[in-house]
């Protein structure tokens, strides 16, 4: 198969960009093959599966699971911040009521 003359691209600055270039090139080639009728059965099957209701629902499920994980991560961070605020408040109250001096607080570190 003869390659058309294209100008060479600069090397990718990182592996993620290189991978994305490969994916983009693969999709472009698959699209050309589908349009000109030269696509292999595996390429046709791949894109047929991508268009099914099952695949759409699986993608939607993954998106929702990802959002849930992000929400959980945010809740954990928020709880850690709240715990730190309460701890600082308790320390301040102890100092204020005379149960602990500022010097005692420095020993905890």
pLDDT tens figures, 19-75: 999 999 999 999 999 999 999 999 999 999 999 999 999 999 999 999 999 999 999
Q: Say what the pLDDT of residue 11 is.
A: 80
Q: 28 Cβ partners below 8 Å, 6+ apart?
A: none
The pTM of the full predicted model, rounded to 2 decimals, is: 0.54
| Structure-model confidence comparison of residues 52 and 98, the more confident one | 52
What's the CA gap between 73 and 23, in Å, rounded? 30
Dihedral (CA of 61, 62, 64, 65) sign: positive
Over 70: is that where the pLDDT of 107 sits? no
Dihedral (CA of 48, 32, 27, 67) sign: negative
Dihedral (CA of 28, 31, 37, 41) sign: positive
Q: Say what the pLDDT of residue 6 is.
A: 65
Average pLDDT over residues 80-92: 93
Q: Say what the pLDDT of residue 96 is.
A: 86
| Cα 18 to Cα 7, 15, 22, 23, distances in angstroms | 17, 5, 6, 9
CB 47 within 8 A of CB 30: yes
């Amino acid at each position: 198969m003869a390659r058309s003359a294209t100008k060479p691209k600069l090397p990718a600055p990182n592996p993620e960009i290189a991978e994305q270039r490969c994916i983009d090139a693969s999709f472009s080639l698959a699209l050309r093959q589908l349009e000109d009728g030269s696509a292999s059965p595996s390429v046709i099957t791949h894109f047929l599966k991508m268009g099914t209701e099952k695949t759409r629902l699986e993608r939607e499920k993954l998106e929702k699971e990802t959002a849930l994980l992000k929400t959980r991560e945010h809740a954990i961070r928020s709880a850690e911040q709240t715990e730190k605020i309460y701890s600082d408040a308790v320390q301040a109250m102890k100092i204020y009521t005379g149960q602990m001096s500022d010097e005692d607080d420095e020993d905890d570190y």
